[in-house]
Chains A and B, each alone.
Chain A
Amino acid sequence: MIRFRNPVHLSSLLVTPEIARVSLTVLDNGLTVIHQQTVATSVASVDVWVRAGAVREPDDWCGMAHFLEHMIFKGSDRLPPGVFDREVEFRGGVTNAATSYDYAHYFITTAVQYLDATLPYLAEILLNAAIPDNEFDRERDVVLEEIRQSYDSPDCVAFQVLSETVYQNHPYGRPILGTEDHLLQLTPAAMRTFHRSYYQPENMTVVVVGNLSQSEAIHLIERHFHTFPEPVACPYWAMDAEPPITQIRRQEIAMPRLEQARLLMAWLGPGLDSTLQSMDEQLHNAYGLDVLSVLLAEGRTSRLIWELREDRNLVQAVSSGFSLQRDSGLFTINAWLDPDNLERVEAIICDRLSELATAPVTAAELHRCQRLLCNDFAFSTETPGQLAGLYGYYSLFAHPELVTPYPQRIRAIQADDLQRLTSQYLSPYHYAATVVRPLE
């Protein structure tokens, strides 16, 4: 129901020594179960991740994955609309869902003793979604409101323009919500096809975190995620490889009611599907880009915040992030600033990237970034809900047991890795830029 992008630095998994009791099991039907017992809390979370995000949509079904996420909540033949929500909330729990390019996910957080009572409902609506004709048009109106709301947000609009500029072939360039024109063409029958095709056990991971044992968790999941619908074939989108960015691709737009300009810059980063590199190397590179984003724009002492905000007063704010995606990650630098400073700030950012590619960072600076990331990780794994989200997200890419602990990996990054990654990925001559100016 909310559109969701992964939290920047938790873009990837992560098993620490303290939380070593994470297990991964593949059930006979192909469903993956990840479990962790957390004894100190009465809260439990179940998070179901489905590899059925917007990338699975054929071109003319744009918006389908997200709209389906809404329609899941309309129940099954046995469960009328609203019953699932009521059953979870009646027991003091919360539930919600989100859709992105690589996935859709659905979660419940509740007292552990109510998992038995609520989980069957979640399984029922996910596996046996009815997608009733009479609910379809009404819920489409809700999604159209969601689209209108996003059009009233300059940052949403700017990010969509940037995505389209970066990804000219790949579905990562599409709007996840679709557009009004797209949505008006979708049909309940097509949505059922999409659902029956992708909501299958081999595409799904169920994460269970709370004070219950592994065997209790597996038993619970086996019992309720048992009978999947008969799979049907779905038209799919033959993805062309995204060509590298070989110049500066620039898009300028003007928006009404804008009080300050935006500069968004993006570089294609590594994904996790390369056949040329091992998973280990790909993760190492992805985490290196996490470190670079911290070095550039997290904390007052980071290079860009210090220079652009604190010292030279050229921006209102500047941020950076690396978002790990299956086919190709996206490294971004965003600034909110006076329109008069747009060109100057862009030039400074390019200069600083050139410097990073030629001169190694100091040990102290690297250490600062590593400490920040390791602690961010510790601060973001306090609750069952946070943990379940993290494991589920990661499950899209790899198996937890293949991955050494996140802090250990972050600490393994060297100054020359950062130099190499900057030259390899963050060229000041090859990137996409979106500039948003106030409409005169």
Chain B
Amino acid sequence: MLNSTLIQPIHRTTLSNGMVVLVTENPTADIIAARIFIRAGSRWEDPTRAGLNHLLSAVLTKGTQTLSSLEIAEQVESVGASLSTDSTTDYFLLSLKSVSADFAEVLELAAELLRSPTFPAAELELERRLTLQAIRSQQEQPFTVAFDQLRSHMYGDHPYALSGLGTEATVTQITRDDLLAFHQTHFRPDNVIISLAGRIPPETAIALVEKVFGDWVPPATSLPTLQLPEIVSTPSCRAIGQETQQSIVMLGYLAPAIVDTSATAQQAPTASTHPNYATLKLINTHLGNGLSSRLFVELREKRGLAYEVSAFYTTRLDQAQFVAYMGTAPENTAIALEGLQTEIDRLRTVALTDLELQAAKNKILGQYALGKQTNAQIAQTYGWYETLGLGADFDVDFQAQIAATTPAQILSVAEEYFIRPYISLVGPSSAVEEVARIV
């Protein structure tokens, strides 16, 4: 197998203001990448302000007390660096990358953006308009239409129900005061993790982060807490008719969060992984990942029903999704649905052979190692685990959990979660509505 621990060990430090610093020294290339995580993201949004994190991320880089939007961009681009912001369901992210010599300068700029953005009103209006257009444009893609339908059906009132962009109604309502308030609540050093990887010794990196962020004082208030609506399981089939060339057929199941949120686990001093997380990742690999996966072989190779057929299991702080999907000719909609369902049901009744299990383990562990090659990938992986509360050790634990999984565990986990799917269909009305009625 690939050796995924060839890189130097990770150095972890907590500054006196509570900010966590992770450093992975990797002298291979003259590059440093950093990922700065804030424990925010769309799960922290008020439902009437859905899309706030996305809008905040777009406007954050467009003005500070001392710099205009143009000046900020000039600072980054004149040294050929990259600096971008992003928000996901579970965290807010600022990513930067530069050649080693320019890194300190770019990091200083990143700190100024995170600590003292001004959210200029004109920039907010510009990004709001662009976001509203982006929300409409997403509807051009049949896959997105199908996934939106599935997600909103599965999550109901939970913030995971929406794409990070929010809706036209909520984005229209977000004010500059909303951005300022959210920033003040969540952007504080004891809520921030910075993860660096590249050609920089750990002591140099820590001194640099200390210099740039060390005087950022956390507010006296305690960190925000979150009360989210319960996710209630109500699986059924929904269809949207539109005149596309292909039908999209999608099955979704509620699946465990990565972190164990059971009462006993929550009393433990540190977070632990949900016991079924690794097993479901392994099931996902076997079922829908790669050219030798079960869905690919059975539905594409043997039956020619699809070009794209795949599965994914999201990694989330709250209840996640396990999804299998394909695009197929409209006249094959029913056959495709039955094919996907049959392969998933088979996981509940027929144990994987030793060879199948070994293949899935090798595949997921190999791909896991291949996903940690660049400095940006390394910084992302360790920073994310820290943000989730699992710590960088999860890197090793996860691989051990995969290696220890048995066929019996796979059967029982499949039986527990793959009971009745949420189904989302998108395609010509004549094809999908009839199928939805029968289901």
Contact = CB atoms under 8 A, between A and B. Distances in A.
Interface string A304-327: 001001100100100000000000
Interface of B: 1-3, 6, 27-31, 69-70, 73-74, 76-82, 97-99, 126, 129-130, 133-134, 136-137, 139-142, 242-246, 290-292, 297, 300-308, 327-329, 358-359, 362-363, 365-367, 369-370, 373-375
Interface stretch (A219-227, A369-377, A390-398, A413-421): A369-377
Contacts of A306: 70
5 contacts: A94-B370, A146-B307, A149-B327, A152-B327, A259-B136
B327 A42 contact: no
B365 A92 contact: yes
A141 B305 contact: yes
B301 A81 contact: yes
Interface string A110-140: 1100000000000000000000000001111
A316 B133 contact: yes
Contact of A371 (B6, B29, B78): B78
Contacts of B290: 85, 89, 94
Given A89-B292, A139-B304, A260-B133, A375 B81 contact: yes
Given A142-B300, A301-B74, A316-B137, A43 B29 contact: no
B288 to A, nearest CB: 13
Contacts of A364: 78
A112 to B, nearest CB: 9
B359 A382 contact: no
Given A41-B28, A145-B306, A383-B374, A92 B369 contact: yes
A143 B362 contact: no
A368 B78 CA distance: 5
Contact of A86 (B30, B136, B306, B359): B359
A259 B133 contact: yes
A109 B2 CA distance: 11
Contacts of A370: 80
Contact of A154 (B78, B140, B369): B140
B304 A382 contact: no
Contacts of B243: 256-257
B340 to A, nearest CB: 15
B77 A368 contact: yes
Contact of A378 (B31, B292, B305, B370): B31
Given A41-B373, A92-B1, A111-B366, A151 B137 contact: no
Contacts of A376: 80
Contacts of B130: 309, 316
A310 B59 CA distance: 12
B73 A375 contact: no
A161 to B, nearest CB: 16
Given A82-B297, A91-B366, A92-B2, A299 B73 contact: yes
B73 A378 contact: no
A40 interface: yes
B177 to A, nearest CB: 23
Given A299-B73, A306-B70, A148 B329 contact: yes
A144 B126 CA distance: 41
B292 A82 contact: yes
User: Contact size class for A?
Assistant: 35 or more
Contact of A152 (B27, B246, B300, B358): B246
B109 to A, nearest CB: 13
Given A96-B291, A316-B134, A378-B99, 15 more contacts: A89-B291, A92-B1, A109-B370, A138-B304, A140-B304, A145-B304, A148-B246, A149-B308, A256-B243, A257-B140, A257-B242, A259-B133, A260-B137, A300-B73, A309-B130
Nearest to A110: B366
Given A42-B6, A92-B366, A383-B373, A259 B137 contact: yes
B304 A372 contact: no
Nearest to B359: A90
B69 A300 contact: yes
B17 to A, nearest CB: 31
Contacts of B129: 313
Contacts of B373: 41, 43, 382-383, 385
B30 A372 contact: no
Nearest to B427: A152
Nearest to A364: B78
A201 interface: no
A111 B2 contact: yes
A434 B74 CA distance: 32
Contact of A41 (B6, B80, B81): B6
Contacts of A41: 6, 28, 373
A232 B1 CA distance: 41
Contacts of B136: 259-260
Contacts of A258: 140
A371 B80 contact: yes
A95 interface: yes
A301 B70 contact: yes
Nearest to B31: A378
A111 B3 contact: yes
B140 A300 contact: no
A28 interface: no
B140 A95 contact: no
B81 A89 contact: no
A138 B307 CA distance: 11
Interface string A91-108: 111111000000000000
B242 A89 contact: no
A236 B367 CA distance: 41
Nearest to A301: B73
A336 interface: yes
Contacts of B300: 142
A71 B224 CA distance: 56
Contacts of A145: 246, 304-308, 327-329
